[in-house]
Chain A
Amino acid sequence: MEMAGITPKERMAIQRHHMLEQDPDVRNKNFSEVNLGYTVELAKEEALRCIQCKKPLCIDGCPVTINIPAFIKKIEEGDFKAAAAILKKDNALPAVCGRVCPQEEQCEKVCIVGRKNAPVAIGYLERFAADWERENLGIQLAEKKPSSGKKVAIVGGGPAGLSCAGDLIQMGHDVTVFEALHEIGGVLIYGIPEFRLPKAIVKAEVEGLKQMGVEFRTNSVIGLTDTVDELLQEYDAIFIGVGAGLPYFLNIPGEQLNGVYSSNEYLTRVNLMKAYDFPRSDTPMFNIEGKRVAVFGGGNTAMDAVRTSLRLGATRGMIIYRRTETEMPARIEEIQHAKEEGVEFMLLAGPLEFHGTEDGWLRSVTIQKMELGEPDASGRRRPVPIEGAIEEIPIEVAVIAIGNGSNPIISKTTPDLNVNKWGNILVDENTMKSSKKGVFAGGDIVTGGATVILAMGAGRKAAKAIDEYVKNKDIW
């Protein structure tokens, strides 16, 4: 089989194309995007690497089953508009997902080319097509079915809610998204920093949904402003995608000291409230300039927080993690970027206590050094404290990034909505139906903290089930 005068063997021999990025020593002082994206030439060359498998495994590796070979083919042919249109069919936010999906765990993990060479850079290509469309044509709207006259309320304007809204509006339903904060996007707006995901891109993709007809109501805390039961009187169905937004703390002495932040607060101040632009924007934050910052945790949030610290002028940005780098849940690319930018990694180390000044300001943390012991229930080797190996590290700022739980506002005000002991909403895995008729749920509020694309996959699955339900309410 030969395509475009080039054999599959020749395709597989082409080396993966790196994306251009800002120089580490420059980018660690600004908030502009680190990855600069493919040029038209690089994108077309990378697209050549796809061998257009007959039974593409990459599609199954994608939680929203994008037709990956088809859109890559269009890039190879130089028809970027068509490539973007193929993406849009399955993904409401391709420019976002191309940037923040952990492709190495999903589509690219199963890419056949990756068996002998590096996998095709599917994420980079997705991002390229979406960016090209936005920059050259503006956001193109997907096709919409005639109005069904049915109304669906979406609670939470994060990735799950947005993908659910995107699908439902295409199916012809009236969609209203209720968001507690003053901006739409959830973690895409308050959590993931500008240098990884420019806010203008999120806003453009949300604007596309608005033009499709999705109504957005910000400053609406469902459970307080309106309850789920009240929404059910007005809407035919409800999708709850409120995420996992309740920060866990370490529960060690000294956590109340000034300078100790949850990653949610730290990142919300910087990203949503633009504290890096203080005093032009009003929200202050601790003056990080010349300070030592320790971030506790090993996920993407921890990397985002520590890299933010360096950009705010910290002299030291440290990741303190109780296991080793292998166990870190953060994306390899993010760990790599953090290292290049000068982040220090203190591994096999757990915090014991924060120490402060008389006035209540953080001055140091004591750390317990660990070694790896026997595997635990999760199969990972458990970190075990090394007796007497304790170190005090002077720091002025600490950021706790050890995960989030579910916010209880909705479950407390909706007693017949079944949740598990962690407060996650219980749903049918195939239909995302909750215990309450007409109410569906998906994303982190169901799974606990996971990824953007899994939340979007859940939103799409729910949209399909909601579509069936509002057309025939007997099928609950």
Chain B
Amino acid sequence: MNKIIEARFLAPDIKLFKIEASKIAQKRKAGQFIILRVHPDGERIPLTIADSNSKDGTITIIVQGVGKTTKQLNTLEAGEYIQDLVGPLGKPSDIENFGTAVSIGGGVGTAIAFPTAKALKEAGNHVISIIGGRTKELVLLEDEMRAVCDEVYPTTDDGSYGYHGFVTNKLQDLLNEGRKIDFVLAIGPIPMMSAVAEVTRPHGIRTVVSLNPIMVDGTGMCGGCRAIVDDKTVFVCVDGPEFDAHKVNFNILTKRNRMYLLQEKVSYEHYCKLERKIKEEVEV
């Protein structure tokens, strides 16, 4: 069991947790993730380690409530416990001094991009961060990014804050301005990562994405997270999660991630019904 030290919402449905996990805090490197289980009948879900503090032995994860498990997780408060937490899993990001590196985060993807952006800066890169959100309140971690990056550009789809447009539009603008870009890291929804890959492909810019397939164990024993990269099967949990964006088959990843859409809905509705029942019983 791992104790939650801090829990606060960063945006509607997006919550930051600081959790006691001293071993993981000492070991983890940028790009790695954990798998957790909220309760004894819970499922195992993967979440990227957004930050860690080896001194106080905590790791930080940022969770968007999109279904049963994440919504339930987001009801937990400081002082409560996570049933199971394992990590650090996956390969660390490949960090070098590339020159100018652009970190692109879409929605909660910014939380995943943050540790790598920080590591890129520490490796001597000039780091530009593009933070995308559908609307103003979904632009995450701007202050944190400003603290570790040289330039930060928030963008919103609806123009309610920062640059009006998609992250890819901003990236294209930078290229059109003739900025020399040596490395791009893109993390977010699949359509966004796939669109970034198409922007950088003609320029031959090394582009890395962090894939988000369905996972069970996260240690390479089941292949549920398999994806096609460079026409070969890879297990994202042990071979990734970061891969060359120009070689990833996003089409197959998208289809595979739809595998349990129906069951995910059933599970969420089942959970809501139970919650309502508990509330009613408490009121009676």
Contacts and interface: CB of A to CB of B under 8 A. Distances in A.
A281 B233 contact: no
Contacts of A251: 233
B256 A258 contact: yes
Interface stretch (B7-15, B157-165, B221-229): B221-229
B221 A360 contact: no
Interface residues of A, number: 42
B222 A282 contact: no
B264 A245 contact: no
Given A224-B87, A273-B43, A283-B43, A258 B255 contact: yes
B41 A280 contact: yes
A409 B85 contact: no
Interface stretch (A70-78, A92-100, A260-268, A302-310): A260-268
The interface centre, meaning the residue of B217, B221, B222, B270 with most chain A CB atoms within 10 A of its CB, is: B221
Nearest to A273: B43
Interface string B210-227: 000000110111111011
Contact of B69 (A221, A261, A282): A282
A408 B259 CA distance: 28
B27 A256 contact: no
A9 to B, nearest CB: 52
Contacts of B238: 408-409
A278 B267 contact: yes
Q: State which size class the interface on B falls in.
A: 35 or more
Contact of B216 (A219, A246, A273, A277): A273
A127 B227 CA distance: 43
Nearest to A251: B233
A180 B222 contact: no
A265 B86 contact: no
Contacts of A247: 221-223
B191 interface: no
B151 interface: no
B2 to A, nearest CB: 9
A239 B216 CA distance: 26
A422 interface: no
Given A219-B86, A249-B223, A407-B221, A273 B44 contact: yes
B262 to A, nearest CB: 7
Interface in A269-291: 269, 273-274, 277-287
A2 interface: no
Contacts of A258: 255-256, 258-259
Contact of A225 (B86, B224, B266, B271): B86
A180 B224 CA distance: 17
A284 to B, nearest CB: 3
B219 A180 contact: yes
Given A265-B224, A281-B43, A282-B43, 20 more contacts: A182-B44, A219-B85, A221-B89, A224-B88, A224-B89, A246-B220, A256-B228, A258-B258, A258-B259, A264-B221, A274-B41, A280-B270, A281-B41, A282-B69, A283-B44, A359-B255, A360-B258, A407-B219, A409-B219, A409-B238
Name the 10 nearest CB pairs between A and B, nearest first.
A360-B255, A284-B263, A265-B222, A282-B43, A219-B86, A245-B221, A279-B270, A283-B43, A182-B84, A281-B41
